[in-house]
Amino acid sequence: MIKLITGLALSLTISLSAAYANVEENSQAPLRIVALAPHIVEMLYDIGAGDNIVATVEYANHPEAAKAIPRIGGHHGISIERLVALKPDLVLFWQGGNKAQDLEKMRQLGLNVKLSQPKALEDVAKELKMLGELTGHQLQALKVANQFTNKLQSIRQLYQNKQQYSVFYQLWSTPLMTVNEDSWINQLITSCNATNVFSQSPTKTPQVSIENVIVANPDVIVIPDAHSTSPQPKVGWEKWQQVTAVKRQRIIRVNGDNMHRFSPKMLSGLADMCRQIDKFR
């Protein structure tokens, strides 16, 4: 019996010291990050921590270097086994984008999970700073975050005294879909000092009819094109001359890849949309 206890105690000591050694070793090795959303990958590269990413998800295609990172899942879920096998020091989880069950599982497995949960446009700066703290790139993160905040402010200031236009944001055409005020696209629209005609709709991405748009009578129609999907099938707006946007030929196309992603790059898409809307003023 005594032998057994001694044996157990001994093995425990050995394994504990081994674990301790492991931690020691890890603190010297570079941080191993798994970034579970394209916008997190972009921000990590922006603050200089891109080389620490050991795995990510599909669609993390920016910057160019990100394309070489191994993929362990997509919006449909993540391979938890591969995630664990990578022994990450830090897992960055997108609250609202990734699957909630995956988060629970990762926490059960004792992984160090931190959440990215951007809601307002300003949150991009907050997230950058948080990532800076987590990866030890505080200085660079602060710099990029400030740049972002300044650029956002300057865009808003540029247009705040201009005439306010109402906008129909045509997320997709078949069926016709748009966004309400809960979507961050709504914040992009208001940043150009424009209003979203469907901001008060009860669902986040409402399906609407041509008649709804005619009644809403937007001043401008904005059609986002994304590189990853085919171009939107045509609606045939030219038939509806009673809509101000159609009559005055104010239908613009914007870069959906930039606009629909929560990273500093979003501002280039925003600036472009605001500029195009402003041309009509």
d(CA 136, CA 33): 12
Asked whether position 211 contacts other proteins by CB under 8 A, the answer is: yes
Binding to other proteins, residues 21-60 (CB under 8 A): 59
- Name the minimum Å distance from CB 215 to other proteins: 5
d(CA 40, CA 38): 5
- Name the minimum Å distance from CB 13 to other proteins: 48
Q: 88 or 256, CB closer to other proteins?
A: 256
By CB under 8 A, name the one of 13, 101, 153, 207 that touches other proteins: 207
Retrieve residue 101's tokens: 């069950």
Give the three-state DSSP class for 277: helix
Q: 240 or 280, CB closer to other proteins?
A: 240
Q: 110 or 175, CB closer to other proteins?
A: 175
* Cα–Cα distance list, 255 to 20, 78, 202, 224, 267 (Å): 50, 28, 26, 6, 11
Q: 169 or 198, CB closer to other proteins?
A: 198
Asked whether position 228 contacts other proteins by CB under 8 A, the answer is: yes
Helices 123-135 and 138-159, packing angle to 10 deg: 170
Which one of 87-95, 119-127, 152-160, 205-213 is the stretch in contact with other proteins (CB under 8 A)? Answer: 205-213
Binding to other proteins, residues 87-126 (CB under 8 A): none
Which one of 79-87, 99-107, 149-157, 231-239 is the stretch in contact with other proteins (CB under 8 A)? Answer: 231-239
- Name the minimum Å distance from CB 272 to other proteins: 19
60 close to 37: Cβ distance less than 8 angstroms: yes
By CB under 8 A, name the one of 129, 177, 275, 280 that touches other proteins: 177
- Name the minimum Å distance from CB 235 to other proteins: 8
183 close to 205: Cβ distance less than 8 angstroms: yes
179 close to 171: Cβ distance less than 8 angstroms: yes
Q: 94-101 contacts: CB < 8 A, separation 24 or more?
A: 94/36, 94/37, 94/39, 94/40, 97/36, 97/37, 98/36, 98/37, 98/57
269 close to 195: Cβ distance less than 8 angstroms: no
Give the total of residues touching other proteins (CB under 8 A). Answer: 38
Asked whether position 246 contacts other proteins by CB under 8 A, the answer is: no
Tally Cβ neighbours within 10 Å of residue 68: 6
Q: Which residues bind other proteins (CB under 8 A)?
A: 59, 75-76, 171-177, 198, 200-203, 205-212, 214-216, 226, 228-235, 239-240, 242
